[in-house]
Amino acid sequence: MAQEQDEANETHEEFVHQRQVEQKPKNPNAFINPFKAFIYFIMGNRGSGKSSLDEVIAEENFRAGHTVLDLHSAGNYESLYWVINKNCKKYWERWNIENEKLPERERTIEPLHCNCDSKYKIVLVVPDYVEIDQQALDEFNGKFYSKREWADLGHIEYGTLITHENGEKERKKPIRPDYIQWIKVRKIHVPNKGYKNRELFVADLTEIMLMGKNERRIITMNPIFFREVNHKLIILEKTLREIPEIIRSNFKTNTPRTIAQQRGLDKPVPFSKWTVQEKNRHRVTIVMREFGSLVASMLTEERNQVIVKKAVFALVKICRHFHVSLVGDMQRGGDVLKNVRDQRDFFIWKQSNIDIVPEDYDWLRKMIKEFRDKVIEKVGIGYAQKMYPNFEDLRPDQMYVLYPKKNEKGNIFKLFNVRMPEFHHHSADDDFEEDTGIIKETEKNKERATWRFIEKKKDGELTDTAQDVLNDDKKVKDSNMDRIYDLTMSMMNPTDKSKSKMKQKDVFDHVVTLGLAPDDWSFTGYQKWFQRQRKKRVTK
């Protein structure tokens, strides 16, 4: 017993100290280090490859064991492309071979392209008023054998014919025993007025984050699934506020003992024998594309934009303490609040015109020019421009990485070539609905649509969000009606004797002007309502 305790203590001591050594990257120039929490801000022109770089950093961290939340993007399904593989890598490999066979004068320059050859499982987070047909998800997930595949397995009849109690017949498709649920959908409550459903929202978000962690899924949201912009902003704000506590409570750092439990072993597992994923199981990476739009330095904004900005600012100040890395991009650095930009660890520059470079980073542009001039004196302008190109001359596969401080080689910044993500990167020509069969319902495509906004669930009950709206509307209506009654009484019977009594028709016109009257009210309806209310209140 004493020997086992000594072994456990030695293992624990090795774990505590070895973990600190492991966090240092082998390459001093490396800016992606999954063993630490970093904040990355990426800046560049539209179309310069900011979004693909967001994905590459998050992909590296995900492979190393992080739970990844892709929380904000354009409303064109782009944040769902983690689950798409179009085998672009094979296509471009063939293209290169064919291109090499051509005479040199006929060869075309290889463009920056998608290089996908894999995909990742996702959990798609939608509000409770979104309904997605399970059959569409099953078809995309490859749940069923096709008729041809079923026949190739030696079966004559496709599937099983079932007769229901009402006499209707249905042919059940044969299910693949090893199919993968590439897309899982989880619903989340929209925070209601006063955030009275906080407990439900936190329970939803906790379940979603644990699913991402335990099932190794990318957690993703997309604005297209929100009926109102405010819903997207409110959910994002509350998510950013609640994440730290969810991580603190549910994303504990592994120990030699917990690794042993996960592996089904009796003895603690030394840190040196852990996988990279086990070492980083407690870490989280948040991706916010179009980050600049969330923290823009604007003077006038809607209330929900302001609360998101405050939530972002609160998170960037503390995220390192909760093992959270943050990846965000912006088009114009000067449009982003400086006190948010200054929280960065790495500032990454894609192709950027001079007019979008913030004034407080103009020193970097000048330093690049100075370095280039020195190289020009030694080896000429051609090589110098390759070593130190201007921001505006960066190729789509190039970037400057500005370090938080000088690294071990004394570098403040470094020019890198950047790869594309290994899943399919969404381009302007991609159509997610055609790629997946997950199609939003519109007036023109109701027969083809496989997802839609709903007010009522299949059991006929209102969705929680719809019920919350109804309750809020009722409160507003009740408040307005009380105000109408008080106005009518005070105007028809003023307590101030110097004021003349108003006719009820004039009071009604005033109520309509104030916007308090229901749309379907006539003067007669208003009179009848007032008489009923007066009797009720006198009786009370």
What is the structure's pLDDT at 379? 85
Does residue 346 carry a pLDDT above 80? yes
Q: Is the pLDDT of residue 358 over 90?
A: no
Model pLDDT, residue 127 = 96
CA angle 330, 336, 338 (to 5 degrees): 130
Mean pLDDT of the region 181-204: 95
Q: Which two tokens stand for residue 394?
A: 């960066």
* Residue boundaries of the structural domains of the chain: 146-173, 360-390, 464-539
Q: Rounded CA gap, 392 and 400, in Å? A: 11
Are the CB atoms for 54 and 43 separated by under 8 Å?
A: no
Q: Locate tokens 């790629």: which residue?
A: 435
Task: Report residue 13's pLDDT band, with 50, 70 and 90 as the boundaries.
Answer: low
Evaluate if residue 246 carries a pLDDT over 70. yes
* Average pLDDT of every residue of the chain: 87
Sorting pLDDT into bands at 50, 70 and 90, what band is 188?
Answer: very high
Mean pLDDT, residues 117-137 taken together: 96
Report pLDDT for 276.
94
Percent of the chain clearing pLDDT 70 (strictly above):
90
What confidence category does residue 104 fall into, taking pLDDT thresholds of 50, 70 and 90?
confident
Q: Which of 10-19, 208-217, 339-348 has the highest mean predicted lDDT (pLDDT)? A: 208-217
pLDDT score recorded for residue 458: 81
DSSP secondary structure, 323-344, as one string: TEEEEEEES-GGGB-HHHHTT-
Lowest mean pLDDT among 132-141, 210-219, 261-270, 371-380: 371-380
- Residue 234 corresponds to which tokens in the numbers above? 């409110």
Mean pLDDT of 477-504: 79
Question: 44-61, pLDDT tens digit by residue?
Answer: 998 889 999 999 999 999
Residue 92: the pLDDT is: 87
The type of residue at 433 is E
* 158 has a pLDDT exceeding 80: yes
- End-to-end, the C-alpha distance of the chain in Å comes to 79
Question: What local confidence, expressed as pLDDT, does residue 17 receive?
Answer: 59
**How many CB atoms within 10 Å of residue 448?**
11
pLDDT by residue (tens digit) across 299-326?
A: 456 677 888 888 998 998 899 899 999 9
Cα separation, 58 vs 218, in Å, equals 10
Task: Name the maximum alpha-carbon separation found in the chain.
Answer: 102
Percent of the chain's residues with pLDDT above 90: 48
Q: What pLDDT does residue 392 have?
A: 92
Cα 79 to the center of its chain, rounded Å: 7
Long-range contacts of 303-310 (CB under 8 A, 24+ apart): 304/229, 304/230, 304/233, 304/234, 304/237, 305/233, 307/233, 307/234, 307/237, 308/233, 308/236, 308/237, 308/240, 309/337, 310/237
Judged by average pLDDT, the poorest of 116-125, 137-146, 155-164, 285-294 is 155-164
- Between 225 and 361, whose confidence is greater? 225
> Tokens for 388?
């130190």
Contacts of 430 (CB under 8 A, 6+ apart): 81, 424
Comparing CA positions, the residue from 317, 425, 494 lying closest to residue 88 is: 425
CA 496, CA 187: separation in Å to the nearest integer? 56
Helix H or strand E segment including 17:
helix 2-22
454, 118 Cβ separation under 8 angstroms: no
pLDDT at 219 over 90: yes
Q: What is the mean pLDDT of residues 518-539?
A: 77
Per-residue pLDDT, 383: 87
Q: What is the pLDDT of residue 302?
A: 64
3-state secondary structure of 321: helix
What is the model's pLDDT at position 540?
53
Question: With contact defined as beta carbons under 8 Å apart, do 278 and 253 qualify?
Answer: no
> pLDDT tens, 441-451?
998 898 899 99
- The total of other beta-carbon atoms located within 10 Å of residue 408's CB is 10
SS (H, E, C) 406-469: CCCCCCCEEEEECCCCCCCCCCCCCCHHHHHCCCECCCCCCCCCCEEECCECCCCCECHHHHHH
pLDDT at 461: 87
pLDDT higher than 80, residue 133: yes
pLDDT at 539: 61
- Of 289, 231, 238, nearest to 58 by C-alpha is 289
Asked if pLDDT for residue 8 goes beyond 60, the answer is no
Burial class for 285, CB neighbours closer than 10 Å (0-12, 13-18, 19+) = buried
Check pLDDT > 80 for residue 150: yes
Give the pTM. Answer: 0.84
d(CA 76, CA 431) in angstroms, rounded, equals: 9
CA–CA separation, 205 and 168 (whole Å):
41
Range in 79-83, 147-151, 448-452 the model is least confident about: 147-151
Q: How many residues does the chain have?
A: 540
- Give per-residue pLDDT as tens, 409-467: 666 899 999 999 999 999 988 999 999 999 999 988 988 999 999 998 888 888 888 88
131, 451 contact by CB (below 8 A): yes
What is d(CA 51, CA 45) in angstroms, rounded to the nearest whole number?
A: 11
Contact between 212 and 250 (Cβ < 8 Å)? no
